[in-house]
Structure 1
């Protein structure tokens, strides 16, 4: 058969797949809540930890554990 290619303008995913918006919004909210909760727990448990030091030590592995 014949294949037709149609180029779409950038940033149209949310218009074409509007169901994704809810999933992405929920994921971002949950991720942010968990990241900040871990931050508060780390600051409460150890007096020597500063905000800057916590985010400096926040690695990709930390991010994946949060997810």
Structure 2
């Protein structure tokens, strides 16, 4: 993500969509946008619109307030890689003349999206509970579900 791309998104997507949302909900268009200090976030972002205030969070606060950074993204990536590499190995084993380079040449965006969906479905409730428990203990319990014989 570049600063130019983020600024384009901010002006041409974020602002119009949030303005429309505010109109639909009949609420004032006064927005506070919290951002981390990623290199792609322009420091002058708060100067681009008078009704949008941007606050950059201090370094190292994201893992505390964004529980998704505490494990589910790593689990998702691991599941995605496992699924994708299993497909590559299976394709190469099934077709003796197919190389890994050939597999990647034919790896399409649709395949990628399907693999991401499969990887996300493999992120367990237990994993998500463990992540959220760090932030909101009173809303997360260790309930694993009912046994199939009780359903």
2:76 match = 27
1:48 match = 97
Q: CA RMSD in A?
A: 2.6
Q: Report the CA distance between 1:9 and its aligned residue.
A: 5.3
Higher RCO (CA 8 Å, separation ≥ 6 residues): 1
What's the TM-score, normalizing by structure 2? Answer: 0.37
1:66 to 115, 120, 126: 115
* Distance in structure 1 (CA, Å) of the matches to 2:31 and 2:101: 53
Normalized per residue, the structure richer in strand is: 2
Normalized per residue, the structure richer in helix is: 1
Runs of 4+ residues over 2 Å off in structure 1:
1-16
**Equivalences, count:** 66
What's the TM-score, normalizing by structure 1? Answer: 0.76
Q: Which runs of 5 or more residues in structure 2 are unaligned?
A: 1-27, 33-52, 117-151
Q: Report the CA distance between 1:39 and its aligned residue.
A: 0.6
Larger Rg computed on CA atoms: 2
